[in-house]
Every structure is written in structure tokens, then in C-alpha cells.
Structure 1
């Protein structure tokens, strides 16, 4: 190993010079902080990343972040470094009150942009003209969860509710709610995906479909379950099969109250053969035989009727606020995950 003993200012790199100036400033603030009347300060650093290796940039940024708290400093810095910028975006996502990124877009007529996406910011720095959001992965309990979720989204679209979901791919992974809620604690990957739970996961205490059909007010005694930011559940407190069944039961047993629904089916050649009598005979289960297993055996027919009749769009036509709350909650979850993906280091 060769050790240069006669190092001088002339042998220092630009990066070393910059770090020297920054360290001197921090030492000055430390000295000031020892006085009783010190109330904090402001430190401005131009091109904080200049001539520094990416790992050195991260180390310097972490040092500044730590000392900003210890020395009560507000730090303003400029940078063209993607390494520094993604560190700021990451911190901003965790604490928007303490960290901000102000990005100047354009040269001849610069404008201020507040990017929340590392990928979008990177695309602009490289002068790209198009940007495609990454596809959000969505995991759900099973295929029935996926199918009912898609029926709900379709109903929201038919009712022209004001929402927009980012690009996503939904994947049934055939795990229960208890297993799914534990996944993010076991692997951080599952904090960057959206997870859809069945409606019966809305409360720790589950109710049976046969109990609900006898007395739907039983749900009032349930305590709603708090879910993490990347979790959303289907509406109500029932399994997907129970959820569809309860609506079909209402439409069949009170068909006169829902004359408009059945009349609309009559007008469409593809659903004209449906009638409340036929659906009652085909799908409504005797009280003595009603249970979740019996519903799962009929799940295909429940889905087919619900899909072909656009049952949920009719059902929520008079309950749009309920569906809007659910779809907005879903949108917030999907956008949260999408933003995490775009702010990632990928």
C-alpha cells in the first residue's frame, strides 16, 4: 500500500473540497449551538453531490439528515443526482411535513413541479416525452374475491362514479385473511403490492351467512377492523358468496319492489329468460340448508347471474354513496402502492 504523506490542498479532489466546506459549516453550527441563545439555523448547499461517488452521496445525505435534527437546521440543497433525489423522495413519502422536493422543469421557461415519483422525475431528467406507470400487483384471497372485485369496479364504471385506478394486475393466491395480513411483516415485498380481503375480514368476529339472513342488523354489533395502507376489503361483512347471495335474495323475495330491475332484464335478449321465479328456484337455498359450503357450491351460478344482469350497478344505483366510498378507498390503496413503486430505487 502506498501512503501519500505530503498531501496538500492541490492534491484534493473537487468532491473532497466540497465535503471540507460542508463539514466546516457544520462545525460552525455546532459551536453556535453551544450558546444559550441559539435557536437553529439555515444551511444552503449548492450541488451537494458534486464529484462524489454515489455511496459517498448517500453517506453525506444521511449525515446532513441526522445533524439537521441534532443542530436544529433547515437545510436547502440543490442537486442533479438521481441518488440524492430518490433519497429525498423516499423521506418525503414517510414525512411530507419535514421533507420536500421542488423540481424545476424546463430551461427556457422553467416551472416548478412537485414530483412524488422517482421514475417520472428520472424520465424528465433524461428528456423522455412519455411515461408509463408501473403495473400494480394486486393479491387477493381467491378467485371468487377477484371476480366480485371486478363486478364492483364494473358497477362503479356503469354508474359513472368519479374514479380512476392505476394499471393493475390482480392475482388470486388462495390464502386466508389472517395469512395475508401477516405477509408485509414477513417480507417487505408485500408492502409494495395491494391486497384485497373478503368482506368477512372487515371484522375480527365473523358472522355466518345463515345468521345474517335471519337478522341483517347483526352487523351493527361488529367492530370494524383497521387495515394497513395497502389493504382493502370487499364491502359488507360477508364472504364474497354470501355478499352476492344476500343481494340476489333481496331482488327475488321482494321482486315487486325491484320491478325496474327485472323489467330491464326482459328488454335485453341475452337476459330475457331470467325471471325472479327461475332465479328463486335455481339459486335460493332452503333456510335449513343455507351455509357457506352450500353457497360455494353455487358460486359459479351466483357469479354468472350477477355478471350478466349487471346486478350490482342496479343495487348501488340508489346507494351510490356506499359504492363511491368503497371505490375511493380502493383507489387510495392502489395509488399508495403505485406511488411506492414509482418512488422505489428500481
Structure 2
């Protein structure tokens, strides 16, 4: 296997070291990031296993493998060409272009070897053997499936170049290949022949159990799928025909794995690759632009490594911390802000006062977290919901797990109903926002010398200690007096206090903002403020992925 390749200069691969997994490697990046060039250099790092190799238990496996797969152990000069002006892959670079490290920690460096004829100009990349070291390329089967595999049989006009391939897999592997193909397509196939389409590709001839469907009428994706499965089963056959002593015994490379394949096939193939790679020691490398494939690979990091390359115009860099949100952003050539502009978690609250409280909490958390905002992740639904309605919604398991991936916040006086498993929390404090504000205002009224009353911004808006004493304090007292009087008269008090609170709140809303900010910053309430922050983050982590938000974007600072 290839453990890593350190590139000095090869096309845009300059001063970059790429490490590979012994299992499955996903190479992604925008066009022009040398993804295919990496496959070329890997293939160039090995030679064909000879039939005289002492590891072979079944010598014919090597020739069968080579005949069934169009490109086995191809070298760079057969995979790429210079243009009319002789496109040097490493201009102004002499000596080593890259160094390959193998799984046994041995290394080989490679250099340019240019050649020219009267008909064409081309370059090759050859190993630099050290004098007296008796070095050689390691022998390992490598199958390269380039985009030529997508060429349609119906569009191939050179009938003279089509010939039959006599080599066949042993019966048990033919049956395995047929079973795999049926698992993907539902077609039960009966092999007839493998066709050699000149220098383009090898493709199967088969019939199916469905009238009108055969190897000539299947879709390009189904044809592509069969070629990939054939390569995979061929390498299993090779593994079974040798005395295995290495961590890796073969390499499969596929350029643009997602080309012509439905996302369902892509994911199913990746699952198959993980199984075959682990069981039959196949190192698999593929290039892709498929977000669904990358996302699946990132969820199975123990078997798949994702290598993402960043285009820097004249060179490429490797993305260090790979996650699906960053890759989604980069592949779409946009910014995280633009993507997350429309990706927000809906937050259900009881009323305007609750949202007023929340916005001030967001502002507070931003101030103590070095300017990092969490407000950007949430959409406060501009609708009022009675606490009973919110509780009923979160108790509907179907809604909670499907369409209602919301964060639900009740007022503090409903704390006995909080349930993190139901995505339901309560605001800080043990009362409604209005009562918290009014009570804190009354507390501050007993402290006329408090720095709160000397706030220039408060004074500039006309809210002085004297103004509060003369215009607001009595109105707060009158709310409780009205409720007491209604009770004495045996009249209903349902909703009265709430309505009076809201009326007073809206009358002096600018003043209440100063009051509530002071309550939030009061050290006596620090525990409640921090508890709400932690609970909100727990619900964020539970719902972020559903709404396309990177859960790692909530950065913890100062233990928060």
C-alpha cells in the first residue's frame, strides 16, 4: 500500500504531504485540484505482479486479473500526455518530483524522464534508484478505472477493434459478481463474454431475466457499476489466490466514482468497498464531487479517510479539519455565512416578552464569549404560543422527530415542565419575564445610590430614579392590588395579571431593557444564566445537524 506521498512539485501538488488510509480514501476538491494526478502517482508507484512471484498459489490469477480490467498497473506516461508545447508537469524543478512511502516504511523518489519522438512529445516519471541498493518498484496489482469506463458501447464505431476476452473468473466469483449486480439492480444476469473495446475499456456481455434488458440496453450507470464490481471481485479473487503476508495486497483506483451513479448506488458501493477493503486487504482510492458520498464517508471515519484539496490557483493545499459543512461550503464556492444565512433552528417561545428576554441573553453571551455570537443559529418564531400548546407539541413524538425539530422555551414559572429529551427548556429565573423585570426594578428602587441609576444612557432617555418613583413604581404595585380586589369581589382573575403585566411592559419597554440587562449581569443570577446557556447548547447539538448547521461551530470559551 501507499502510506503517504510527499510532493516536491508535480503539477499543482507542491510542498504537500498526503497520507492515505490502508482502507478507503475519498479524494475531493473542486475541478483543477489534481485529484486525478494523485491516482496517477499512486499507480506509478508499483509494478505488475509476475506469474513467477513466490506468493502466488494460483498463478493464472495474475493474467485473469490483467485481462478482465482494462488498465492494470498503468504508468503515468500511459495515463497523461503533454500538449503540443510539451506540458512539463514540474517546470523549473530538477531531481525529485515526489517521494512515495510504502507500508513497510521503505521510500522511493521519482523524477522526470522526458522523451520525444517525431510524432509526439511525452513525459514519464521514473523511480530514482540509489546506487548499490538493489531497489525496485514493489509488486502489487493496481487497477485504475478512469472516465474512459463511461464510454457508451453504442457510441463505439470501430467494430474492428472489438474482440473477445477469453479469460474468465472462476465460477464462484462469477456467481458472486452476478449476486452483487442483482443486489444493486435487481437484474439476474447470465454471463456470455467480456468484450475488449480497443483502447477504451473492457465491458461485459450478458443477458438478464427481464425481456429487453441486457448488456447492450442497460444504462450508462449500470454499465459503469458492472465494471467497478468486476474490478472489486477480481481483486478478491487475487487475494484468495496468494499467500497473503502484507497489510495491503492490492489497490483499486476510481476516478469520479459518482459519475453516472445515483446517490443510492454511491452509498451502497462505499459500504461494499469498506467490507471488501477490510476483508481482502484492498486499498481503495477514489475521487468525487458527491456531497452525499463525502457525508457518508465522514460518518465512517474508522474505515474511510476523506482528503479535501483546496485550489490556490498555482498550487493546492489540504484541508486540515474535514467536516461535511466546510466541504459543502467549499464545493459550492460560497462562504459559511452565506450557507448558514438560511440554516437556522426554529425556536418556539410563549410571547414577545420571552423573545425580548432571549435577545438580551444572546447579547450577554456574546459579550462574555469574546464576541462570538450564538444568535446566528436561531430563528425566533414570531408567534405567541400558550405554554400548554408548546408542551402538547413536544409530547407528540412523531412531530418532535420529523417536522418539529425545534427548540422550545417556556417562561421560568414553568420550570417543572422542562425536559431536555423533549427539547423543552425554560428561561432563567422562576417567574415570567415581566415579573422578573418588575421585581428587579422594585429591588433597585431600594438602592437609590446604585450605579444603575447613574447610567448615562438611562438618564439620556429620561429614566431617572425619581421618574421611576413617581411614574412606574405605583403602577407595579397596582397590578397586585387589582388582583387582590378582584378576589375579594369573587371575580375571575384568569389572565388579568398577565394582561396588566404586558400592558405595563409595553408602556416602558426601553426602561425594562436596562432593568433586565442589569438582572442578567447580576452575580446573584449567574448560576441561572449559565444553566440556561448549557441547556440551550445541549438542544443546539441535538437539532443542528437536522437543519444543516455544523454542531462544532458553537465554540466553547471560558468553560461555556
Instruction: State how 1:227-306 maps to structure 2 within 5 Å.
Output: 227-228=420-421, 232-252=425-445, 255-256=446-447, 259-264=450-455, 267-272=459-464, 274-276=467-469, 278-284=471-477, 285-286=479-480, 289=483, 293-297=495-499, 298-302=501-505, 304-305=507-508
Root mean square deviation of aligned Cα: 4.5
- Pairing partner for 1:190 from 404, 412, 419: 404
Question: Where does residue 111 of structure 1 map in the other structure?
Answer: 318
CA-CA distance at 1:234 after TM superposition: 1.3
Is 1:53 the equivalent of 2:261? Answer: yes
Distance in 2, Cα, partners of 1:231 & 1:102: 39
Greater helix content: 1
- Pairing partner for 1:174 from 377, 385, 392: 385
Question: Where does residue 342 of structure 1 map in the other structure?
Answer: 548
| SS at structure 1 position matched to 2:360 | helix
- TM-score, normalised to structure 2, is 0.44
Distance in 1, Cα, partners of 2:370 & 2:515: 16
| Cα offsets for 1:296-315 (capped at 9, x unmatched) | 12223235546434112222
CA contact (8 A) 1:306 1:312 kept: no
Bigger shift: residues 297-306 or 321-330 = 321-330
Greater strand content: 2
CA contact (8 A) 1:199 1:238 kept: yes
Distance in 2, Cα, partners of 1:313 & 1:258: 18
The structure with higher relative contact order (CA 8 Å, sep 6+) is: 1
For this pair of structures, how many residues does the alignment match? Answer: 306
The 3 A distance-change label for structure 1 pair 249 and 263 is same
The 3 A distance-change label for structure 1 pair 71 and 305 is farther
User: Structure 1, unaligned stretches of length 5 or more?
Assistant: 32-39, 205-224
CA contact (8 A) 1:137 1:168 kept: yes
- TM-score, normalised to structure 1, is 0.66
Distance in 2, Cα, partners of 1:69 & 1:247: 65
Distance in 2, Cα, partners of 1:122 & 1:142: 35
Instruction: State how 1:1-346 maps to structure 2 within 5 Å.
Output: 6-8=192-194, 10-12=202-204, 13-23=223-233, 46-47=253-254, 49=257, 51=259, 53-54=261-262, 55-64=264-273, 67=275, 78-80=286-288, 81-89=290-298, 91=299, 101-106=306-311, 108-118=315-325, 120-128=326-334, 132=338, 133=340, 134-143=342-351, 144-156=353-365, 162-165=371-374, 166=376, 168-171=378-381, 172=383, 174-176=385-387, 177-182=390-395, 185-186=398-399, 187-191=401-405, 193-204=406-417, 225-228=418-421, 232-252=425-445, 255-256=446-447, 259-264=450-455, 267-272=459-464, 274-276=467-469, 278-284=471-477, 285-286=479-480, 289=483, 293-297=495-499, 298-302=501-505, 304-305=507-508, 307-309=510-512, 310-319=514-523, 321-322=526-527, 323-324=529-530, 326-327=532-533, 329-330=535-536, 333-334=539-540, 337-342=543-548
